[in-house]
Amino acid sequence: MIRYRSYAKLNLFLDITGIDGPLHTLDMVMQSVSLYDELTFEPLLENRVEIVCDNVDLQSNNIIEKAFRLTQRVFPQIRQGFRVTLNKKIPMGAGLAGGSGNAAATVHYLLTQNHIKPSPKWLRPLLLSIGSDVAFCYRGGTQRVRGVGDVLRSYQSPHRHFLIVSPHIAVSSAEAYRLWDAFDVRGGRSEEPAKDPHRPYNAFEQIIFPLYPEIARLKSRLLDLGATEALMSGSGSAVFGIFKTKDQCEQAEKQLNDKRYSTWVVRGMSLGVSRLKDVEYSC
């Protein structure tokens, strides 16, 4: 058995810059953090994937299955499947890239198990074909991510301590983009000045907050609790506060103390997926 951790991501900055065919182009600063899902892989003799998870919905139509099939298509020497036990800790529909991280860990496992060391020429298109966040989740750390997720560059961020709050609201990314397109057509985008990626910003807040006022209230609450900045991650629904120290995060978490939410005090990570023995923090 081989165990992996796939780490959640936060969007320290997210701007929607246009459309490229069926996909939106983005400008983002993304940060891996220490909240993780754990995946335990066991090889099978058959050419299939078996997913073991407490969440029945994740046992079918899972991005792990998609990652396996697309990786096998690019590297046909992969002939055996696997059983994976998924211990899901990253909430779904929260804008934290839990599924993309699971897919990245799956690709890493398949390549390592089959002794394949692909060049970026082969690896990057494979990861992007699985999902737009998968390339980042495979690489991890702090990255400036642009285009359709295909342009990544290491980025320096002074932020290392975060309090994530999930209000248990699932937001569909596809629906968020549909709403953004309608907002853009109405002229909302043209009224905005250019944004500075060094300053926290999330374009999706303009359309998600009116639909889900609870998410907006959580952002304000984190600022009231001492966060230097607070932001929604991705298309939501999770929000996070940036704090100077871990102790400040923990104090804010205690004051929040609401059973309607799940909370995590996390640190920035220098990687997106890892075997258990490879775990390391970015500071």
Q: Which of 232, 101, 92 is nearest to 162 (CA)?
A: 232
- β pairing state of 2-20 and 201-202: parallel
Q: How far is CA 100 from CA 54, 104, 131, 222, 259, in A?
A: 19, 6, 7, 27, 27
Q: Is 150 a catalytic residue?
A: no
Catalytic residue among 15, 37, 133, 219: 133
* Rounded Cα–Cα distance for residues 112 and 117 (Å): 8
Q: Is 133 a catalytic residue?
A: yes
* Rounded Cα–Cα distance for residues 111 and 218 (Å): 41
Catalytic residue among 9, 15, 27, 37: 9
Amino acid letter at 95?
Answer: G
Q: Which of 148, 96, 98, 141 is nearest to 124 (CA)?
A: 148
Would you please indicate which residues are annotated as catalytic (active-site) residues?
A: 9, 133
